Homo-oligomer: A and B are copies of this chain.
Amino acid sequence: MTKSLTSLSLSTLAVSCALSFGVANAEEPISIIEPAKITEPEKVELGKMLFFEPRLSMSGFISCNSCHNLSLGGVDALPTSIGHEWQQGPINSPTVLNADFMLAQFWDGRAKDLKEQAAGPIANPKEMGYTHDLAVDTIRSMPAYVARFEKIYGSEEVNIDRITDAIATFEKTLVTPHSDFDKYLQGDKNAISADAKAGYQVFKDQGCTACHNGPAVGGTMYMKMGLVKPFHTDNPSEGRKAVTGLEADKFVFKVPTLRNIELTYPYFHDGSVWTLEEAVNTMADIQLGQALTEQETKQMVEFLKTLTGEQPQITLPILPPSNANTPRPVPFK
Protein backbone atom coordinates (compact mmCIF):
# COMPACT_ATOMS: atom_id res chain seq x y z
CA MET A 1 0.00 0.00 0.00
CA THR A 2 2.75 2.40 0.92
CA LYS A 3 4.39 1.68 -2.41
CA SER A 4 1.18 2.31 -4.31
CA LEU A 5 0.59 5.52 -2.46
CA THR A 6 4.10 6.72 -3.28
CA SER A 7 3.56 5.90 -6.93
CA LEU A 8 0.34 7.82 -6.94
CA SER A 9 1.94 10.80 -5.24
CA LEU A 10 4.75 10.80 -7.78
CA SER A 11 2.26 10.66 -10.61
CA THR A 12 0.32 13.58 -9.20
CA LEU A 13 3.53 15.50 -8.79
CA ALA A 14 4.47 14.72 -12.36
CA VAL A 15 1.17 16.03 -13.64
CA SER A 16 1.38 19.21 -11.63
CA CYS A 17 4.91 19.77 -12.88
CA ALA A 18 3.79 19.21 -16.43
CA LEU A 19 1.02 21.75 -16.09
CA SER A 20 3.47 24.40 -14.98
CA PHE A 21 5.67 24.15 -18.11
CA GLY A 22 5.75 27.06 -20.44
CA VAL A 23 4.63 29.37 -17.70
CA ALA A 24 7.65 28.96 -15.51
CA ASN A 25 10.28 28.34 -18.18
CA ALA A 26 12.95 29.84 -16.00
CA GLU A 27 12.59 26.91 -13.66
CA GLU A 28 13.14 24.35 -16.42
CA PRO A 29 16.62 22.86 -16.81
CA ILE A 30 16.25 23.02 -20.59
CA SER A 31 15.81 26.30 -22.42
CA ILE A 32 14.44 26.75 -25.90
CA ILE A 33 16.55 27.37 -28.98
CA GLU A 34 15.88 30.58 -30.85
CA PRO A 35 16.19 30.74 -34.66
CA ALA A 36 19.54 32.05 -35.85
CA LYS A 37 19.78 35.81 -36.20
CA ILE A 38 21.92 36.41 -39.26
CA THR A 39 23.66 39.77 -39.04
CA GLU A 40 26.47 39.08 -41.52
CA PRO A 41 24.84 37.22 -44.43
CA GLU A 42 27.82 37.57 -46.76
CA LYS A 43 30.17 36.10 -44.18
CA VAL A 44 27.72 33.29 -43.53
CA GLU A 45 27.60 32.55 -47.26
CA LEU A 46 31.41 32.53 -47.52
CA GLY A 47 31.58 30.30 -44.46
CA LYS A 48 29.10 27.92 -46.06
CA MET A 49 31.23 27.73 -49.19
CA LEU A 50 34.29 26.92 -47.10
CA PHE A 51 32.33 24.38 -45.02
CA PHE A 52 31.52 22.51 -48.24
CA GLU A 53 34.99 23.08 -49.76
CA PRO A 54 36.79 19.75 -50.36
CA ARG A 55 39.83 21.63 -51.62
CA LEU A 56 40.63 22.47 -47.99
CA SER A 57 41.86 18.87 -47.83
CA MET A 58 45.01 17.29 -49.29
CA SER A 59 42.93 14.87 -51.35
CA GLY A 60 40.50 17.48 -52.61
CA PHE A 61 37.80 15.06 -51.44
CA ILE A 62 37.06 15.78 -47.77
CA SER A 63 35.20 18.87 -46.58
CA CYS A 64 33.86 19.86 -43.16
CA ASN A 65 30.53 18.50 -44.39
CA SER A 66 32.05 15.05 -44.97
CA CYS A 67 32.10 14.30 -41.23
CA HIS A 68 29.54 16.92 -40.17
CA ASN A 69 27.00 16.07 -42.85
CA LEU A 70 24.11 18.53 -42.73
CA SER A 71 21.87 15.92 -44.37
CA LEU A 72 22.47 13.65 -41.38
CA GLY A 73 22.08 15.84 -38.31
CA GLY A 74 25.56 17.33 -38.63
CA VAL A 75 27.40 14.04 -38.17
CA ASP A 76 28.69 11.18 -40.34
CA ALA A 77 26.64 8.57 -38.48
CA LEU A 78 29.73 6.39 -38.10
CA PRO A 79 31.38 5.18 -34.87
CA THR A 80 34.54 7.12 -35.75
CA SER A 81 35.22 9.14 -38.86
CA ILE A 82 36.91 8.33 -42.14
CA GLY A 83 39.84 10.66 -42.77
CA HIS A 84 42.56 11.27 -45.35
CA GLU A 85 43.50 8.04 -47.14
CA TRP A 86 40.67 6.28 -45.26
CA GLN A 87 42.43 6.58 -41.92
CA GLN A 88 40.21 5.74 -38.98
CA GLY A 89 39.52 8.70 -36.73
CA PRO A 90 40.10 8.41 -33.00
CA ILE A 91 36.68 9.51 -31.79
CA ASN A 92 33.03 9.91 -32.74
CA SER A 93 32.32 13.01 -34.81
CA PRO A 94 30.23 15.43 -32.70
CA THR A 95 27.37 17.23 -34.35
CA VAL A 96 27.96 20.71 -35.68
CA LEU A 97 24.30 21.54 -34.98
CA ASN A 98 23.90 23.89 -32.00
CA ALA A 99 27.64 23.55 -31.43
CA ASP A 100 28.01 27.20 -30.55
CA PHE A 101 26.11 26.52 -27.30
CA MET A 102 28.99 24.29 -26.13
CA LEU A 103 31.39 25.69 -23.52
CA ALA A 104 34.25 24.55 -25.75
CA GLN A 105 34.81 22.40 -28.85
CA PHE A 106 35.92 18.79 -29.41
CA TRP A 107 35.05 16.02 -26.93
CA ASP A 108 37.96 17.09 -24.75
CA GLY A 109 37.26 20.81 -25.07
CA ARG A 110 40.71 21.54 -26.46
CA ALA A 111 39.42 24.32 -28.74
CA LYS A 112 37.86 27.28 -27.01
CA ASP A 113 35.37 28.07 -29.76
CA LEU A 114 34.14 27.17 -33.24
CA LYS A 115 36.77 29.30 -34.93
CA GLU A 116 39.61 27.54 -33.14
CA GLN A 117 37.96 24.18 -33.79
CA ALA A 118 37.65 24.78 -37.53
CA ALA A 119 41.41 25.06 -37.90
CA GLY A 120 41.99 21.62 -36.41
CA PRO A 121 40.71 19.10 -38.95
CA ILE A 122 42.14 20.95 -41.96
CA ALA A 123 45.68 20.37 -40.74
CA ASN A 124 45.11 17.07 -38.91
CA PRO A 125 47.00 14.38 -40.87
CA LYS A 126 44.27 11.87 -39.98
CA GLU A 127 41.39 14.10 -41.06
CA MET A 128 41.72 16.50 -43.99
CA GLY A 129 45.49 16.03 -44.10
CA TYR A 130 46.29 19.48 -45.47
CA THR A 131 48.32 22.38 -44.10
CA HIS A 132 47.06 25.84 -43.24
CA ASP A 133 49.51 27.32 -45.74
CA LEU A 134 48.22 25.15 -48.56
CA ALA A 135 44.62 25.81 -47.54
CA VAL A 136 45.28 29.54 -47.72
CA ASP A 137 47.11 29.19 -51.07
CA THR A 138 44.16 27.21 -52.42
CA ILE A 139 41.49 29.73 -51.46
CA ARG A 140 43.69 32.70 -52.39
CA SER A 141 44.20 31.31 -55.90
CA MET A 142 40.54 31.79 -56.81
CA PRO A 143 39.49 35.37 -57.66
CA ALA A 144 35.86 34.70 -56.73
CA TYR A 145 36.94 33.82 -53.19
CA VAL A 146 39.34 36.75 -52.92
CA ALA A 147 36.59 39.17 -53.93
CA ARG A 148 34.43 37.86 -51.10
CA PHE A 149 37.21 38.18 -48.54
CA GLU A 150 37.82 41.74 -49.66
CA LYS A 151 34.17 42.69 -49.39
CA ILE A 152 33.71 41.07 -45.99
CA TYR A 153 37.05 41.80 -44.28
CA GLY A 154 38.02 45.03 -46.02
CA SER A 155 41.15 43.71 -47.71
CA GLU A 156 42.09 41.00 -50.16
CA GLU A 157 44.11 39.11 -47.60
CA VAL A 158 43.18 35.46 -47.24
CA ASN A 159 44.56 33.79 -44.13
CA ILE A 160 43.60 30.91 -41.87
CA ASP A 161 42.20 33.31 -39.31
CA ARG A 162 39.71 34.70 -41.80
CA ILE A 163 38.92 31.28 -43.26
CA THR A 164 38.07 29.83 -39.85
CA ASP A 165 36.24 32.99 -38.80
CA ALA A 166 33.96 32.63 -41.81
CA ILE A 167 33.40 28.91 -41.21
CA ALA A 168 32.58 29.58 -37.55
CA THR A 169 30.18 32.36 -38.51
CA PHE A 170 28.33 29.93 -40.77
CA GLU A 171 28.34 27.24 -38.10
CA LYS A 172 26.77 29.63 -35.59
CA THR A 173 23.70 29.70 -37.83
CA LEU A 174 23.33 25.91 -37.60
CA VAL A 175 20.75 25.87 -34.84
CA THR A 176 17.63 23.72 -34.69
CA PRO A 177 14.69 25.69 -33.26
CA HIS A 178 11.03 24.76 -33.10
CA SER A 179 11.46 21.19 -31.83
CA ASP A 180 8.31 19.65 -30.42
CA PHE A 181 9.87 19.87 -26.99
CA ASP A 182 10.50 23.60 -27.39
CA LYS A 183 6.90 24.09 -28.48
CA TYR A 184 5.88 22.21 -25.35
CA LEU A 185 8.12 24.38 -23.18
CA GLN A 186 6.51 27.41 -24.79
CA GLY A 187 3.06 26.30 -23.70
CA ASP A 188 1.76 23.98 -26.41
CA LYS A 189 0.78 21.09 -24.17
CA ASN A 190 -0.14 18.88 -27.10
CA ALA A 191 3.20 19.28 -28.84
CA ILE A 192 4.57 16.11 -27.24
CA SER A 193 2.93 12.80 -26.29
CA ALA A 194 2.02 11.60 -22.82
CA ASP A 195 4.91 9.14 -23.02
CA ALA A 196 7.33 11.94 -23.89
CA LYS A 197 6.04 14.01 -20.97
CA ALA A 198 6.51 11.05 -18.66
CA GLY A 199 9.96 10.52 -20.14
CA TYR A 200 10.90 14.10 -19.43
CA GLN A 201 9.82 13.58 -15.85
CA VAL A 202 11.99 10.47 -15.58
CA PHE A 203 14.83 12.43 -17.16
CA LYS A 204 14.56 15.05 -14.44
CA ASP A 205 13.81 12.65 -11.57
CA GLN A 206 16.78 10.45 -12.37
CA GLY A 207 19.08 13.44 -12.38
CA CYS A 208 20.00 13.46 -16.07
CA THR A 209 19.55 17.21 -16.03
CA ALA A 210 22.50 17.59 -13.69
CA CYS A 211 24.64 17.30 -16.82
CA HIS A 212 22.22 17.62 -19.71
CA ASN A 213 20.83 21.11 -19.35
CA GLY A 214 20.75 24.48 -21.07
CA PRO A 215 19.60 25.21 -24.61
CA ALA A 216 21.60 22.33 -26.11
CA VAL A 217 20.63 19.91 -23.32
CA GLY A 218 24.34 19.40 -22.78
CA GLY A 219 27.62 21.09 -23.55
CA THR A 220 27.66 23.24 -20.42
CA MET A 221 30.25 21.20 -18.49
CA TYR A 222 32.73 18.34 -18.47
CA MET A 223 31.92 15.05 -16.73
CA LYS A 224 33.60 11.72 -16.20
CA MET A 225 32.37 8.97 -18.52
CA GLY A 226 31.76 6.20 -16.01
CA LEU A 227 30.99 8.23 -12.92
CA VAL A 228 29.69 5.43 -10.70
CA LYS A 229 30.70 2.39 -12.79
CA PRO A 230 33.51 2.17 -15.34
CA PHE A 231 32.68 2.56 -19.04
CA HIS A 232 34.18 -0.33 -20.99
CA THR A 233 35.59 0.64 -24.36
CA ASP A 234 38.44 -0.13 -26.71
CA ASN A 235 38.72 3.58 -27.47
CA PRO A 236 41.97 4.96 -26.05
CA SER A 237 40.73 8.54 -25.65
CA GLU A 238 41.37 9.92 -22.18
CA GLY A 239 39.34 13.08 -22.58
CA ARG A 240 40.27 16.21 -20.63
CA LYS A 241 43.46 14.58 -19.33
CA ALA A 242 44.97 15.16 -22.77
CA VAL A 243 44.32 18.88 -22.31
CA THR A 244 45.04 19.44 -18.61
CA GLY A 245 47.52 16.65 -17.95
CA LEU A 246 45.66 15.87 -14.76
CA GLU A 247 45.01 12.25 -13.80
CA ALA A 248 41.70 13.39 -12.32
CA ASP A 249 40.61 14.40 -15.83
CA LYS A 250 41.05 10.90 -17.24
CA PHE A 251 37.88 9.88 -19.08
CA VAL A 252 36.34 13.28 -18.43
CA PHE A 253 34.60 14.51 -21.59
CA LYS A 254 32.42 17.40 -22.57
CA VAL A 255 28.80 16.47 -21.96
CA PRO A 256 27.33 16.07 -25.47
CA THR A 257 24.20 17.83 -26.63
CA LEU A 258 20.99 15.81 -26.68
CA ARG A 259 19.40 18.10 -29.28
CA ASN A 260 18.66 16.03 -32.42
CA ILE A 261 19.95 12.96 -30.62
CA GLU A 262 17.69 10.75 -32.74
CA LEU A 263 19.82 11.79 -35.73
CA THR A 264 23.30 11.68 -34.20
CA TYR A 265 23.80 7.94 -33.62
CA PRO A 266 25.96 6.05 -32.93
CA TYR A 267 26.39 7.32 -29.38
CA PHE A 268 29.16 8.14 -26.90
CA HIS A 269 32.67 9.32 -27.67
CA ASP A 270 33.53 5.87 -29.01
CA GLY A 271 30.36 5.59 -31.11
CA SER A 272 29.81 2.12 -29.70
CA VAL A 273 26.06 2.31 -29.08
CA TRP A 274 23.55 2.47 -31.94
CA THR A 275 20.18 2.74 -30.22
CA LEU A 276 18.76 5.37 -27.92
CA GLU A 277 17.37 2.63 -25.67
CA GLU A 278 20.83 1.21 -25.02
CA ALA A 279 22.36 4.66 -24.66
CA VAL A 280 19.76 5.71 -22.10
CA ASN A 281 20.14 2.51 -20.07
CA THR A 282 23.93 2.70 -20.16
CA MET A 283 23.92 6.31 -19.00
CA ALA A 284 21.49 5.55 -16.16
CA ASP A 285 23.68 2.64 -15.11
CA ILE A 286 27.22 3.99 -15.27
CA GLN A 287 26.57 7.66 -14.54
CA LEU A 288 23.74 7.43 -12.03
CA GLY A 289 23.77 3.85 -10.77
CA GLN A 290 20.12 3.47 -11.72
CA ALA A 291 18.29 0.69 -13.50
CA LEU A 292 15.37 1.98 -15.52
CA THR A 293 12.21 -0.02 -16.06
CA GLU A 294 11.41 -0.95 -19.64
CA GLN A 295 8.64 1.63 -19.58
CA GLU A 296 10.90 4.37 -18.26
CA THR A 297 13.42 3.67 -21.00
CA LYS A 298 10.71 3.79 -23.64
CA GLN A 299 9.35 7.05 -22.24
CA MET A 300 12.78 8.62 -22.02
CA VAL A 301 13.44 7.71 -25.66
CA GLU A 302 10.11 9.26 -26.63
CA PHE A 303 11.13 12.40 -24.80
CA LEU A 304 14.56 12.48 -26.46
CA LYS A 305 12.98 12.25 -29.91
CA THR A 306 11.05 15.45 -29.20
CA LEU A 307 14.39 17.26 -29.10
CA THR A 308 14.78 16.96 -32.88
CA GLY A 309 14.41 20.50 -34.18
CA GLU A 310 14.04 22.10 -37.55
CA GLN A 311 17.16 21.24 -39.52
CA PRO A 312 18.99 24.11 -41.22
CA GLN A 313 17.80 24.65 -44.78
CA ILE A 314 21.00 24.72 -46.78
CA THR A 315 21.25 25.71 -50.41
CA LEU A 316 24.28 23.87 -51.68
CA PRO A 317 26.98 26.43 -52.50
CA ILE A 318 28.43 26.61 -55.99
CA LEU A 319 32.20 26.74 -55.60
CA PRO A 320 34.51 28.68 -57.93
CA PRO A 321 36.67 26.62 -60.27
CA SER A 322 40.35 25.96 -59.61
CA ASN A 323 42.82 27.47 -62.03
CA ALA A 324 46.47 27.18 -62.95
CA ASN A 325 47.46 28.85 -59.65
CA THR A 326 45.46 26.50 -57.44
CA PRO A 327 47.51 23.82 -55.67
CA ARG A 328 46.46 20.49 -57.13
CA PRO A 329 44.92 17.92 -54.83
CA VAL A 330 46.98 14.85 -53.98
CA PRO A 331 44.39 12.10 -53.54
CA PHE A 332 46.86 9.26 -53.95
CA LYS A 333 50.54 9.03 -53.12
Contacts and interface: CB of A to CB of B under 8 A. Distances in A.
Interface in A30-57: 52, 54-55
A328 interface: yes
A329 B77 contact: yes
A214 interface: no
A76 interface: yes
Contact of A321 (B76, B262, B313, B321): B262
A77 B60 contact: yes
A324 B82 contact: no
B61 A329 contact: no
A322 interface: yes
A331 B70 contact: no
A265 B52 CA distance: 18
20 contacts: A54-B77, A55-B77, A59-B82, A60-B76, A60-B77, A61-B66, A70-B316, A71-B319, A73-B321, A77-B329, A78-B331, A79-B331, A82-B331, A85-B86, A274-B328, A311-B318, A313-B316, A314-B315, A314-B316, A315-B316
A135 B104 CA distance: 38
Contacts of A262: 321
Interface in A246-297: 262-263, 265, 274-275
A57 to B, nearest CB: 11
Given A85-B86, A313-B315, A316-B71, A324 B274 contact: yes
Q: How many copies does the complex hold?
A: 2
A88 B265 CA distance: 29
A25 to B, nearest CB: 28
Given A61-B82, A82-B331, A274-B328, 6 more contacts: A77-B322, A86-B86, A88-B331, A263-B321, A274-B322, A311-B318
A72 interface: yes
Contacts of A331: 78-79, 82, 88
A317 B73 CA distance: 11
B329 A78 contact: yes
A319 B60 contact: no
Interface in A296-333: 311, 313-319, 321-324, 328-329, 331-332
A272 to B, nearest CB: 12
A69 interface: yes
Sort A-B residue pairs by CB-CB distance and give the 9 closest, nearest first: A86-B86, A314-B316, A311-B318, A71-B319, A263-B321, A61-B82, A78-B331, A52-B71, A85-B86
A165 to B, nearest CB: 21
Given A88-B332, A315-B316, A321 B82 contact: no
A156 to B, nearest CB: 23
Contacts of A314: 315-316
Nearest to A59: B82
A331 B324 CA distance: 35
Interface string A81-115: 01001101000000000000000000000000000
A318 B71 contact: yes
A86 B332 CA distance: 9
Nearest to A262: B321
